[in-house]
Structure 1
Amino acid sequence: MVLSLVSLCASEVVSDHSSSPCWLRWVPRELYRPLLEAAFSSSRPLAVGELVQRWPERSLRVGGRRKRGETPPNRLCIQALLLAIVRGLSDQRSVLHVLDLSGLQGDEGSVGDPMGGWSLTVALCTMVVQARTGAKRAQKKEGERDRKRFLVLQRDADVKRERGHRVNAKSEEELMRGVRRRMEMDRQSEGSPGNEGGTRTDSDDRDIDVLVHVRADLFVNARSWDRVRAALNTHGPLKLQCRFLRVEEISVSSIKTLLDLLPHRGLLGIDVRYSSLGVAGLAELLPLLSTFPALTTLRLHYCNLDFRRDLPGQDETLRDLSQGLTKLHQLKCLSLTALRLPGQLRVLLSSLPQPLEILELPYLSLSPADLAYLSCSHHASTLQQLDLSENRLEESTLPSIRRLLSQASSSLQHLSLSGCGLTDHLLALLLPSLGCCIALKSLALALNPLSMAGLMDLVRTVVRMPNLRQLLYPNPLEDYQPGLPDLPSSAQLLDWPLDQMTEINTTSIQLNRVLMDNGRSNLLLTCDLLNYDKDLID
């Protein structure tokens, strides 16, 4: 990445914190952004704090989609940012009104010590509650000043009367009445029923104005549940708004409580993981989700959905589920992982009123009927991302897959068929359809039992796809140690050791030679399953 002259100068400026009093007061507002970016990239938390506290615009956006090779801000810089926001609440010069931290979180423990989703959520909720406590403390001090002012006014009036001076009784009375009214409101707020222990009351809500709206993605599990609930219940100078909600190992009733606390116009997506929703639980949640008009994303991972018609009342529950899905009018992304619903894909997808753009169905044991429906559904021609990983494909299901790819050929940008049991023969039948996907930018085919010959055929096909930028290819069978079955599963390919006697770079060299011969230096070939990320394509 080539840095601009402004970026290089900004990095030099923020590198010396001792000089900040000299230059900070003279910085024009258009240079605050490059200085803040330089402070984050150089891990200068003191500079981050000073820039944020003096931020000259009404909105501040930190986070969002990162470019390839760009690391998220580290933990100390994020903590400095949050502290600066709280300090700025009492600064009359502060004009900041919206703080957007959506997409800021990184992976816990990765390079650079970024703040993960759970840690960021806890820090944000603590900041919101502490800001309200500080506002109440300042409000109490203001009340004390009002009481003292009232006593002084009353004493001065008495002295003037005793000395026989003429006083403007009307103006004095109006001034004292206004001070007395504020004092009475403070007493009612402090002594109202249910306010013991600092819980919120209607009087508190009236007294504290929202100064900064904080938009963020929230990660809620059993450990952060109480803090998140307290922060969303808090009315103070900071108001927390959730853009994407991720919950893990939380009951249906707790998820419902959480949804009731969220502002309905801000939520864009919900991600539920490792929670035993069941079909009935999901049907219970869907009416609540329909009240969020901007909801475009629904992800359910390992949520114990079991579609078996032999269960009592299952048909009625499926009808409730289908009816609930019809109300998600803005849904564009549906992701379902490891849910037991073979043969029931039509129940889910046919109920959605709008065609999907992103559909992720890994580990679903999709049946031939599911794939046949998908290839003819109203979603097929609008799909931009499709993930069918770990759904075993056979020759009987390939016509449906080819039909699906044909329908999506002009829109599909990201496709994953990893772990689908594609042999050389099956891949050869599929390659013509893959080659017709003219908009495809990334293709994942890891953990498929391909030989070196099949892999070379794959690469010769993808180099003719002009928009493709990434290919996640499987290690060829020749690279593994002896002993693999004739048709190994994806789990066996993942666990089986590679042959140490084989030259590690031999496969890579042969594949890259095909790229060079076809002038495709802009196509990345990788077999690194753990670090593959389709979202890093510019």
Structure 2
Amino acid sequence: MARALPLALGEDEIAWAWSESDAFSLDVSSGTFPCRLVKMSIRTPPRLLELVGRSLLRDQALAVCALEELPMELFPPLFMEAFSRRHCEALKVMVQAWPFPRLPLGSLMKTPCLETFQAVLDGLDALLTQGARLRRKLQVLDLQDVSENFWMVWSEAMARGFLPNATRRRKPARDCPVMRGQQRLTVIIDLCLKSRTLDECLTCLFLWVKQREGLLHLCCKKLKVLGTPLHEIKNILNMVNPECIQETEVNCRWRLPDLAEFTPYLGQMRNLHKLTLSHVDVPRYISPEQKKESVTQFTSQFLKLHHLQKLYMNRVSFLEDHLAQLLSCLKAPLKTLTITNCVLSESDLRHLSQSPSISQLTTLDLSGISLANLSLVPLQLLLEKVAATLEYLDLDDCGIEDSQVNAVLPALSRCFELTTLSLCGNPISMATLENLLSHTIRLNNLRLELYPAPRESYDAYGALCRRRFAQLGAELMGRVKDLRQTKRILFCTACCPRCGHRAFYDLEVNQCSC
């Protein structure tokens, strides 16, 4: 028989432990009514489970003694209480006695506290040195930033005797693609390197990991590089296994030589599924030979990325006339290809349409790429190739004109899986828009359509005539209703030069924010 837990509830807490229905079933014929119970009709009382936790944590020595007999369902709420109130000794022992394979600490660290984080690490030290005699089930310290409600849902579920599906599914063996059996603990973290210096908790973690090399496995599945110096990034990447990384984002205004210095690490991310690269400039002082060497060094890394499915590149200035080189190194078909605000040549477009790696695209975004003076035959061929799979197409602000739209319409009208189509910011006439709408009538899966304001909505100086825009928008919307039933359709202006937002017509004109 389990031993009764020592519990001493205060007078106020006993009052709160009553249910609201109990409060109103009291005999009040005596003319007296306990004032504390009246409060229960004003706010929700804490559950008895919470009161038990608070009572235990008043005496940390008592809490430590009680852990041997503590029911499993009390651990999550008690840990939350100890963490939020910074009961470090209790935290240290609770980590050693943690009865679950995973400790999802990341969702509790919205506002990091070095003192409590160090207490958790101290508890892990006891496990790693096998000095703890309590239950040792903990295998994964999860520092990922999951939903804030995770612990609350978990605690509620445990109190009712079942685990939420998310907890059941997250088994340690599946957490890391390169899990090492000989290591006693896996620490999972998503790294966001966005300042010149690391915060104190991250610095503490890296020092702790470095001093315990061989005892634990540091697994980083998502890496964001947003501003940390390159030498610091390299030091951090030397502590994690790059094969664990599944998503990488680099957005810190690098020059091409900086990217070339980073690329050896990129090639080691052999389980990478998603790569985002933004704001990479080619400096003026670099020679054509140096540029070619750096680009080759970068593109050759893709030969090692057999699991890459999503590729995002924004404001990458070295792509012009080098896209074919990159595409030829892709080892698996892409699901998502986003090349935005870059310069591409007609040759680049041709190689894009011919690449076997894009035949299964579900998302294609070429917004911000100037296509005004290029033949769109390659784009037509590309749409024909991906017609069976393409769900999202964005060609905003490409300078596409009437003749180019008419050239791609036959291919576009066969993209039957398309759910989102965006053509904002292109100088298209009213007549061509009507023709476009008649061609997309068969695309039954379309849920969101974003079209440019007709070219006739602007005056000779390019300024928007709002009354004219409203009139033409109403005509187009009426035309759409005559043709088919839509889920959501908008006619959008060019971006406002002052606020950067678009005005749009959706049954009426909605102004930009300035």
TM normalised by structure 1 equals 0.59
Q: Does 1:525 align with 2:511?
A: no
Aligned pairs (5 A) from 1:213-228: 213-216=142-145, 217-223=190-196, 225-227=198-200, 228=202
Helix, strand or coil at the partner of 1:288:
helix
Paired residues in the alignment total: 377
Give the C-alpha shift of residue 462 in structure 1: 2.1
Separation (CA, whole Å) in 1 of partners of 2:269 and 2:390? 28
Q: Which residue of 2 is the match for residue 249 of structure 1?
A: 227
> Is contact 1:58–1:97 with CA below 8 Å preserved after alignment?
no
Separation (CA, whole Å) in 2 of partners of 1:55 and 1:290? 44
Q: Does 1:455 align with 2:440?
A: no
Aligned pairs (5 A) from 1:189-204: none
User: 1:137/1:349 Cα in 2 relative to 1: closer, same or farther (>3 Å)?
Assistant: closer
Helix, strand or coil at the partner of 1:455:
helix
Deviations 1:78-133 (A, max 9, x none): x99984999895556764725397xx9xxxxxxxxxxxxxxx9xx55835x44442
Separation (CA, whole Å) in 2 of partners of 1:58 and 1:511? 61
Identify the match of residue 19 of structure 1 among 45, 66, 78. 45
User: 1:266/1:83 Cα in 2 relative to 1: closer, same or farther (>3 Å)?
Assistant: farther
User: 1:303 is matched by which residue type in structure 2?
Assistant: V
Q: Does 1:126 align with 2:115?
A: no
Q: Does 1:480 align with 2:458?
A: yes
User: 1:473/1:136 Cα in 2 relative to 1: closer, same or farther (>3 Å)?
Assistant: closer
Q: Which residue of 2 is the match for residue 99 of structure 1?
A: 104
Q: Which residue of 2 is the match for residue 46 of structure 1?
A: none
> Is contact 1:59–1:96 with CA below 8 Å preserved after alignment?
no
Q: Does 1:362 align with 2:340?
A: yes
> Is contact 1:275–1:304 with CA below 8 Å preserved after alignment?
yes
Aligned pairs (5 A) from 1:468-507: 468-484=446-462, 496=463, 498-502=464-468, 504=470, 506-507=471-472
User: 1:23/1:349 Cα in 2 relative to 1: closer, same or farther (>3 Å)?
Assistant: same
Q: Which residue of 1 is the match for residue 141 of structure 2?
A: 212
Helix, strand or coil at the partner of 1:126:
coil
Separation (CA, whole Å) in 1 of partners of 2:339 and 2:473? 30
Give the C-alpha shift of residue 136 in structure 1: 6.6
User: 1:339/1:58 Cα in 2 relative to 1: closer, same or farther (>3 Å)?
Assistant: farther
Give the C-alpha shift of residue 475 in structure 1: 1.8
User: 1:286/1:139 Cα in 2 relative to 1: closer, same or farther (>3 Å)?
Assistant: closer
User: 1:16/1:273 Cα in 2 relative to 1: closer, same or farther (>3 Å)?
Assistant: farther
User: 1:21/1:231 Cα in 2 relative to 1: closer, same or farther (>3 Å)?
Assistant: same
User: 1:133 is matched by which residue type in structure 2?
Assistant: Q
User: 1:359/1:138 Cα in 2 relative to 1: closer, same or farther (>3 Å)?
Assistant: closer
Q: Does 1:413 align with 2:391?
A: yes
Give the C-alpha shift of residue 362 in structure 1: 1.2
Give the C-alpha shift of residue 406 in structure 1: 0.8
Separation (CA, whole Å) in 2 of partners of 1:297 and 1:253? 23
User: 1:296 is matched by which residue type in structure 2?
Assistant: H
Give the C-alpha shift of residue 422 in structure 1: 1.2
Give the C-alpha shift of residue 261 in structure 1: 3.1
TM normalised by structure 2 equals 0.62
Separation (CA, whole Å) in 1 of partners of 2:245 and 2:392? 25
Deviations 1:349-381 (A, max 9, x none): 111222222111112210011011111111231
Separation (CA, whole Å) in 2 of partners of 1:449 and 1:271? 33
Identify the match of residue 418 of structure 2 among 440, 459, 464. 440
> Is contact 1:286–1:324 with CA below 8 Å preserved after alignment?
yes
Q: Does 1:511 align with 2:496?
A: no
Higher mean Cα deviation, 360-369 or 318-327?
318-327
Separation (CA, whole Å) in 1 of partners of 2:358 and 2:47? 59
> Is contact 2:336–2:363 with CA below 8 Å preserved after alignment?
yes
Give the C-alpha shift of residue 400 in structure 1: 0.8
Helix, strand or coil at the partner of 1:382:
coil
> Is contact 1:275–1:303 with CA below 8 Å preserved after alignment?
yes
Deviations 1:432-486 (A, max 9, x none): 11111122111111110112222222222223211221112112223335512xx
Q: Which residue of 2 is the match for residue 165 of structure 1?
A: none
